[in-house]
Amino acid sequence: MELETRTTKSLWLRHESILLLLLVAEVLYFWAAGRRFATADNVANMVRHSVEIGLLALVMTPIILTGGIDLSVGSTLGLCAVIFGKLWRDAGFPPWIAGLCTLAIGALCGGCNALLITRLRLPPLIVTLGTFSLFRGLAEAMTEGVDAFTSFPASFLFLGTGAIGGLPTQAWILLSLALGIWLLVHRTTFGRSFRAIGFSFEGARYAGLPVQRRVAFVYVLAGIVAALAALTYTARFGTAKADAGMGYELFAITAVVLGGTSIFGGTGSVHGTLLGVAAVAVLSNGLGRLPAAMNMASELSGMLTGALLLIALAGGLLPRWLAHRRG
């Protein structure tokens, strides 16, 4: 038993060190081949651009740890951005009240997923696929596909474009959330139960854990943080449109899986997810800095992220396969 824990542990160490190596290789390559890659401006830029995906990946980690998945986070982001814009411009709320209401809407979106998943025992996959379409559709319907909200006050835009203590403002949000989620998942019994549920749902239930409440918690948390990401997204671009955050769910899931969290639930880590976010962020930023790839950076980074996800998934099987061989 002890031997088994040690093997898995050393393998986990290996997974994260491989990821770190990949990250270093990426950075070195783009530093050598890219134009103005390793400048302070570009690093700040990279951080700004990856905060939303980072936030979504951080809350996706507990979900995947419980063996679930949330495909609707990108759509929740879009819906929350539009609702924030509507509350501010049409209802005339000051930005901070509109922001708080938006967080509540996010909680409502997450709660909708949680309700269907825990009360009706529906598979998370199909529920969030439905809400993926529903939330994005509501955002499109509310803006009639074209309406965009702009000219927010400077005090709000500071959230997306300003800097505190040399770091972009939203980086502080990301860092504090990362710390919070890390403490929750790795240092509390509450967070430990996510892995227990992902490892064995029935086992966790027989052990007396309130599994349905814990599962509901992670989906509601994802909704709230997606709303938070909607605020930083809107503040960064200065506009709120229905297509905000489209496809972000893929980047978030990729970062989590790349970070070593098993897609089947049960094992994984938050620091791994942060490394995964960094790897995805450096890839998409670096491609934009390559003279050869500059014009098609978004296509290439999307394509490579998809491919990376497949490789990470297949690579995630390696420890199991090795353990199987040894066993």
111 binds another protein (CB under 8 A): no
118 binds another protein (CB under 8 A): no
Q: Rank residues 97 and 303 by Cβ distance to another protein and give the closer one.
A: 303
307 binds another protein (CB under 8 A): yes
# chain residues binding another protein, by CB under 8 A: 45
324 binds another protein (CB under 8 A): no
- Which positions from 131 to 150 touch another protein by CB under 8 A, shown as an x/- string? xxxxxxxx-xx-xxx-----
Quick check: 212 and 42 in contact, CB under 8 A?
Answer: no
| CA distance readout (Å), 15 to 18, 54, 63, 278 | 5, 20, 20, 15
The CA distance from 327 to 321, in Å, is 10
Q: Rank residues 138 and 274 by Cβ distance to another protein and give the closer one.
A: 138
Q: Exposed e or buried b for every residue in 273-287, given b needs 16+ CB within 10 A?
A: bbbbbbbbbbbbbbb
The CA distance from 124 to 112, in Å, is 11
User: In the complex, what is the shortest distance from the CB of residue 322 to another protein, in angstroms, rounded to a whole number?
Assistant: 15
The region of 168-176, 179-187, 220-228, 300-308 touching another protein under the rule CB under 8 A is 300-308
Quick check: 88 and 98 in contact, CB under 8 A?
Answer: yes
The region of 26-34, 80-88, 224-232, 303-311 touching another protein under the rule CB under 8 A is 303-311
315 binds another protein (CB under 8 A): no
CB proximity list for 87: less than 8 A, separation 6 or greater: 93, 97, 98, 101, 102
What the block records as the tokens of 268 is 């994984």
- Which positions from 280 to 299 touch another protein by CB under 8 A, shown as an x/- string? ----------------x--x
302 binds another protein (CB under 8 A): yes
Q: Rank residues 81 and 138 by Cβ distance to another protein and give the closer one.
A: 138
The CA distance from 81 to 67, in Å, is 28
**What DSSP state is assigned to residue 117?**
I
180 binds another protein (CB under 8 A): no
Phi, psi of 167 (to 5 degrees): -110, 145
183 binds another protein (CB under 8 A): no
Binding region for another protein (CB under 8 A): 69, 71, 116, 120-123, 125-127, 129-138, 140-141, 143-145, 247, 250, 253-254, 257, 263-264, 296, 299-300, 302-303, 305-307, 309-310, 313-314, 317
